[in-house]
Amino acid sequence: MRPLVLGIETSCDETGVGIVRGDELLANVVASSMDLHARFGGVVPEIAARAHLEAMEPTIERALAEAGVTLDELDAIAVTAGPGLAGALMVGVGAAKALGIAAGKPVHGVNHLVGHVAADALAGGPIEQETIALLVSGGHTSLLHVRDIDADVVTLGETIDDAAGEAFDKVARLLGLVYPGGPSIDAAAAEGDPTAIRFPRGLTAPKDRERHRFDFSFSGLKTAVARHVERSADAGELSVPDVAASFREAVVDVLVTKAIDACAHTGVPRLLLGGGVVANRRLRELAAERCEAAGVALRVPPLSLCTDNGAMIAGLGARLVARGIAPSAPGFGVESTLD
């Protein structure tokens, strides 16, 4: 069975609507409110929610047109129910429920992080196999053990403070680089020396191994960068490229080290990357290098499926429909990251 499913994603600043038939991607339309957040240096929840409200119908219409299908033909609607920004999620869930009632279709509220994993199937990935997934974006940083994508996903660890992308955004601001910080830091780092400054690697000390082996922390790193910038600017010797390269190396080193450790710990020799930070050149490079050395198969879906999008949510919904899993109960709510 290859169900025709429309997926809606509004957990952060991307209004995404995707349509799939089973594992076949028919449409993936994304409207981003990123530009509206630029002057604040990060996503402003209320601005994101308002932008979703305005973008929702045009994005649904574009996706239907792109896929060449009508609402009537759908087997189901899937929507991100969390985790994410509460107000932003509510716009998507409200739209999905309204569509469900209007078109007489079942609605599945799904988990955003598992959606990132489902994206791999749309890129032709071996999704039936167990995998470790490292999901890194502006809103989340999680290491998952995916035993069965539809039924058994274990969170091995997550960030205890900032998300990795958020750390890039905050450090870019400290360095006077434009938002979003990830691409700016990537560009600046190309001219810098990653060994110039030894920045801290959060939660990698022996004492952290017991409780936080697979967790992440980037706030200490951000503070260390702030101190370094202050000191070296006063002395008139601040090198933005060196700070960018050294900071990027610290983040990427921790992400890849913990992901490979998770593969070793679980005995699963497969690693899947997802989230907007996957655009980082050094992350891709170091993950490829270390995975090869460790005998771990690395999967990186195309970037359009790594950043937040509706197709991954539709893909996950199609799997649930195919398995005969019941839709969400009427009145289902959202799971905020702020709860």
Does position 137 bind Zn ion by CB under 5 A?
yes
Q: From the CB of 159, what's the least distance to ligand KG4, in Å?
A: 12
Residue of 4, 5, 8, 12 that binds ligand KG4 (CB under 6 A): 12
| Closest approach of Zn ion to the CB of residue 20, in Å | 18
When asked if residue 180 is in the footprint of ligand KG4 (CB under 6 A), the reply is: yes
Does 308 bind Zn ion (CB under 5 A)? Our answer is yes
User: Contact, 83 vs 336, CB < 8 A?
Assistant: yes
Cα–Cα distance for residue pair 133/282, rounded to 1 Å: 18
Give the E-state strand segments of 76-126 in sequence order.
76-82, 107-111
Scanning 43-51, 64-72, 131-139, 320-328 for contacts with Zn ion by CB under 5 A, the matching segment is 131-139
SS3 275: coil
277 is a site residue for ligand KG4 (CB under 6 A): yes
- 169 makes contact, choosing from ligand KG4, Zn ion, none, with CB < 5 to 8 Å by partner type, with ligand KG4
| Selected range binding ligand KG4 among 97-105, 125-133, 277-285, 323-331, rule: CB under 6 A | 277-285
Long-range contacts of 94-100, Cβ-Cβ distance < 8 Å, separation of 24 or more: 95/8, 95/10, 95/56, 95/60, 96/8, 99/6, 99/60, 99/71
115 binds, among ligand KG4, Zn ion, none (CB under 5 to 8 A by kind): none
| Residue 183 is a binding residue for ligand KG4 (CB under 6 A) | yes
Is 246 or 321 the residue whose CB approaches ligand KG4 more closely? 246
Q: Which two tokens stand for residue 284?
A: 């891709």
Binding residue (CB under 6 A) for ligand KG4 from 3, 16, 92, 182: 182
300 phi and psi angles, rounded to 5 deg = -130, 105
CA dihedral of residues 110, 300, 156, 82 (deg, nearest 10): -20
- Interaction of residue 241 with ligand KG4, rule CB under 6 A: no
Say if strands 76-82 and 141-148 run parallel, antiparallel, or are unpaired: unpaired
| Interface ranges with Zn ion (CB under 5 A) | 137, 308
